[in-house]
Structure formats: structure tokens, C-alpha cells
Amino acid sequence: MPPVFDLEYYARLKPGPGTGPGRQLAFFFLMSIRDHATRWMLGPDPNPDVRGAECCYFPACGKYILVPPPVAVASCIAIFLQQFVGGNGPLIIQLHGQQLTAQVRIEPRDLTPQITVELPVVRSLQSPAADLLKSCATGGNSLLEFEWTEFEDESNRRRPRVRFQLSTKLDRSGSGSVLLGRQRMPFHPDMHPPTKFLMVVLLMCFRDGAKEVEFLPVGDKLWVRYVVESEWHNFQPVPGFVWPQLVGVLERHATLLRPEFSDFVTPAVGWLEIRCKQEWPINLAVFLDPREASPSLLLKSMWVKPKSDEPVKPPVDDDDGDEDMFGVEFSPDDQ
């Protein structure tokens, strides 16, 4: 008898040590069932220049790429599924009192195993899957959140939580190792101003426990704000010419996914990696719209940072006269 994977049970698990692989796998299956996908895959990115994972499923309209989990988490999911199924073979997925049989194939790879799950289309389960996903989202914002501890067990905590202490990371000597993106751009005081601006904003977000930050160009200003405990906090705006420079930084350092044959003015989703010293990397989900009619950039943390004892909020300053932000001097020539 094939094992039974109960989606309602795993999706509603209370977060705790070791619950992450089952919960995240349940959410991937629910999205696939909701969208009538016939295949779901998680494995190493096919692009040899990207050291990361690819997560996708295949509805009738073709391949749909999701923002993937970090490689270490993808490996945890592969181990969980292999132990659950006992190798390659059938898996019974249960939802809303109905069962469907999926075929699981797990193949070894250098970076992380390649998981392929073939799924039958059961149209009667579309609404139950959508309702369960909605009920599990955080704060009604369609964001599913995890703690690092969910991918650990009680006996062996191999993956430390990522903590940021801003004073050490912004050392003027540059000795605090902060690396950005797939090109591993190190932080230092004299670095490319738009890149330095993005890194300083992100470090302040991590320091204060912000889960998302938004960049909105309006007129000749670029407005920046982030949310902490459901409350938005505004940075002092910077000159509008920073926006195309910021988009250029994302194009270089983030992994952005666009429809095939599209150009650079097409909206993109993807992820951006931040690594501090030797700690575990943080992946940020990236939602970029570079179109002139509706420009915006939203970065969302895929993990929850523990609250610091004394969170520091950035100053809110509506003075339009000062173009200097956190010691970053901008010029229209910074490309």
C-alpha cells in the first residue's frame, strides 16, 4: 500500500523543529492541484551559472516557475520525500476526503536531488486546494512563512538562524563580510553607490525585522518604505535617477525570471541572495516591474528573522532638500 500524504494535516502543522519539509511540500502540491498541473519539479537550476534551485510546475498553459527555496531547503525536502515514499514510486495524496495517486522520481545531483512528481488532474479538488492555501497564508497577504528551525531536528541543529548586527556589518574598514547576489559582491565603503544603497537598505530591514521593502519611483523621487509588524516605515526619498541604476543592480546580482523571448522592460520575478560572513544565506523574493507606466520593486524575505531586543526604526524625514542617504552619494553617471 503506497503511503498517504495528507495535505490538510501537513499544511496546518504548527511550525516547529523538522516541520518545514512536510509543510512546504504540502504547499507545493496544493498550488499544483489548484492550477491543474500535471507535473511538479524541484531540483538544481538548469542554468550552469546559477548555483541555486529551480522550482516549477506544469499546468495546461506550460511551464510555470516559482520562487525556489534555498538549495539546503530543497535538499531537506528531497530527503523528507524519499524517506516518506521509501524511494521512487507511487504516493497517495489526500485532500478533502479524496485521494489521488502521484508518481515520485528522485534522482541524485551534485547540488541537490532532482524531484519530479507526476500528478493527475482532479478538477473537483481545485477549490479545496485554493481555500486551504488561502487559510494558511500569513495575514491575508498570500505569503507563506517558515522559520529556519523548521528545517532542523531537535537532536542536530545544523543550520543556524541568520542574525544581523548592523554595527559589525557596516564597519568602515570593510572587514565585516557581507556578500550580495550570485556574483558575491562584497560590501565596502567605496563600492558602487546604487549597490551600496541597496545593501544598506536591506541591512537596515534585517536589523529591524522587516519582512518586505518596497521601492516606488514617483516623479523625480524614489520612495522607499518597509513594513515591521504590519506598520510601514518610510525612508527619506532619494533622487529619481537612482531608479534605473537600482534596476541595473538587480539585473546584475539577482536571478530574474521572465517569459521566453521577452525583453528587459518585461516584469520579472526571482530571488536575490544575501550572505553575511559564513552564516546561512538569506533568499529574498524579487518582484520587479520596470515598465515606465507602473514601475515598482518589492523584495520579500522568505524567512522570519528573530526579533532583536531593541529594534531600531529608521528616521522618517519628508524633507526634499537632502539627497544624501546613509552616507551614499549619488550621481546620474552611476551606472
Return d(Cα 196, Cα 328) in angstroms, integer.
Answer: 7
Return d(Cα 294, Cα 291) in angstroms, integer.
Answer: 6
Contacts of 170 (CB under 8 A, 6+ apart): 176, 187, 200, 203
What are the pLDDT digits (tens) for 143-186? 677 766 777 644 333 333 322 222 223 333 333 445 554 444 55
Return d(Cα 243, Cα 103) in angstroms, integer.
Answer: 46
What are the pLDDT digits (tens) for 273-296? 776 654 556 778 888 888 888 888
Place of cell 501537513: 10
Q: How many CB atoms lie within 10 A of CB 89?
A: 13
What are the pLDDT digits (tens) for 185-236? 555 555 677 887 888 888 788 778 888 899 999 988 899 998 888 888 888 7
189: which 3 cell numbers? 565603503
330 and 193 Cβ atoms separated by less than 8 Å: yes
**Candidates 3.30.450.90, 3.40.50.300, 3.40.50.11240, 3.30.540.10; CATH matching 4-151:** 3.30.450.90
The answer to whether the Cα torsion of 191, 237, 272, 304 is positive or negative is: positive
Q: Which helix (H) or strand (E) holds 244?
A: helix 242-253
> Does the pLDDT value for residue 335 go beyond 60?
no
Confidence of residue 39 (pLDDT cuts 50, 70, 90): very high
CATH 3.30.450.90 domain locations along the chain:
4-151, 166-301
What are the pLDDT digits (tens) for 98-130? 999 999 999 998 888 999 999 999 999 999 999
Q: Which residues of 240-251 are buried (b: 16+ CB within 10 A; e: fewer)?
A: ebbbebbbbbbe
251 and 279 Cβ atoms separated by less than 8 Å: no
pLDDT at 28: 93
Domain at 166-301, CATH class: alpha beta
Return d(Cα 194, Cα 180) in angstroms, integer.
Answer: 13
Return d(Cα 196, Cα 216) in angstroms, integer.
Answer: 18
Pairing label, strands 268-276, 282-289: antiparallel
